[in-house]
Amino acid sequence: MKISIASDHAGYEVKESIKVYLKQLGHTVNDCGSFNAERSDYPDFAFKAAKLVANGDVDKGILVCGSGIGMCIAANRFKHVRAVVLRNLADASISREHNDANIACFGARFTELETIKKLIDIFLSTRFEGGRHENRIKKLDSLSC
């Protein structure tokens, strides 16, 4: 699977660990920054990674900042992006099953790396159920604001 990944300064170290983990699982990783732990603005990096997802250049995205919230808000500016903040196993599975989420956002200050890895495993392996959820996703993707 092709995955874009990005962080701001607060998520840099976690992003680097996730990148290694994803490569160990056999995924292709496109790192969109940040490339160090110096203060940075999360939208700059979230936009780069989300654009790759929106354009279909990658299959999924993973974003990390202090809380996960800022990155999530930034990523959801793009049409065809359904970014979610994941903090527990139920979030990871239902966001894929019901919402066909394509970007997972994590808070480096709130979620431990081992938990993030478990959430990533669920997020990447869970399929969208379609069915009654399909029309809702079509409505989201058709919105033009």
Active site residues: 65, 98
Say if residue 59 is exposed, middle or buried (CB neighbours under 10 Å; 0-12, 13-18, 19+): middle
Residue 49 · residue 74 · CB < 8 Å: no
Left if phi > 0, otherwise alpha if psi is -120 to 50, otherwise beta: which for 105?
beta
What span, in angstroms and rounded, lies between the C-alpha atoms of 19 and 70? 20
What span, in angstroms and rounded, lies between the C-alpha atoms of 30 and 25? 14
Instruction: At 77, list the tokens.
Output: 């500016």
